[in-house]
Amino acid sequence: MGLIRSIARSLWATVAVVVGLSLLAITVAVRLFGLTPGGGTALYFVVWWITLFAVLPFGARSQHEAGSVTAGTDPGAPASPALREKALWTTLVGGLVLLLAAGLLPLAGL
């Protein structure tokens, strides 16, 4: 977890890691499992977004729970969303799910 936090401190490091890992996952899916580049990218795009919505609630504390509600905001809004860390976790988990899905597609006859 320390590595994820240290990468997430920099916007450009986060973008570089997300793009690099995404391209790696798509390339592996295309070469090992016979997906087309467009198909691998489309499948990864869908998997990544679904994974993001699954990862977003992890570790989220509302401003009310944290005890510091910013004036003009909803007390239920996240106190510190940590979106860069969540983007990194989403990319790691999404890449694994992509490879699992690409490996299972031939078994389903798709």
DSSP 49-104: HHHHHHHTTTT--BHHHHT-PPTTS-TTSBS---HHHHHHHHHHHHHHHHHHHHHH
Q: What is the pLDDT of residues 45-65, one digit of tens each?
A: 999 999 999 999 998 888 888
At 1, the pLDDT band (50, 70, 90 cuts) reads low
Q: What is the pLDDT of residues 63-101, one digit of tens each?
A: 888 888 888 888 888 888 899 999 999 999 999 999 999
**What's the pTM value of the predicted model, to 2 decimals?**
0.86
